[in-house]
Amino acid sequence: TDAFMHAVETNAKWELINPRDEGEGPTETVSARDLWNEIATSAWQTGDPGVVFINRVWETAPNPQMGRIETSNPCGEEFLEDHGNCCLGSINLDKHIVLTNKSDNEHGSAMDFDWKLLEETIRTSVRFLDDVIEVNKFPLTSLREVNLATRRIGLGVMGWADALVRLNIPYDSDDALKLADKLGGFINRTAWDESGKLAEERGPFPEYQNSALHKKGMPPVRNSSVITIAPTGTISR
């Protein structure tokens, strides 16, 4: 929470409360800064714990009218409404690298993203994921009702490291960060644009008029979310 991060910044004390014993008072009081340093060190050493800045989740929720979001899906990439769900798909970036006519040195031709092909893939993927909502099978009626009301989809990526190898760009370089910004912005803008085109053809998601997207002035879109960077280890073959 923002309150915890403020306590870290001011080196204040922080009360630890067991959620199963809510109302019974703190189990312990610790230094917020020491706790934060322990979290950061553990995450660096082992990858755990994952950290969620929950106030950012609440501020950016597309459907606050459906209740405050409490948690994410099991992998942590989607913060969903109660009974919410989202069909995911990932674009293999490595498949969108092509040889260009430009040369980055005297020894050979340069590689670059085929931006036109990538745009076609993004637009096709948005339509595919939206179609999945229609044919998907749900174990509970409430899951289908919420999914149809919000029409969340999550288009992500894989093959980023492989693409950088082809481009001869070090993973931890400033050039990689700049390209990631350019690529991420391109995917995000294109995906939302295609969702807008779908809304013109098929109508916006049913909760659009009540959503934060509408209140913030976004034109009608078919989906209340379009981008998600999800783990792709099991689908990357």
Which residue numbers are catalytic? 73, 75, 77
Angle between helices 115-135 and 174-202 (to 10 degrees): 50
Using only C-alpha atoms, the chain has a radius of gyration, in whole angstroms, of 21
DSSP 111-145: EEE-HHHHHHHHHHHHHHHHHHHHH---SSHHHHH
Sheet strands (E) in 151-220? 153-158
Burial of 231 (0-12, 13-18, 19+ CB in 10 A): middle
DSSP state of 94: G
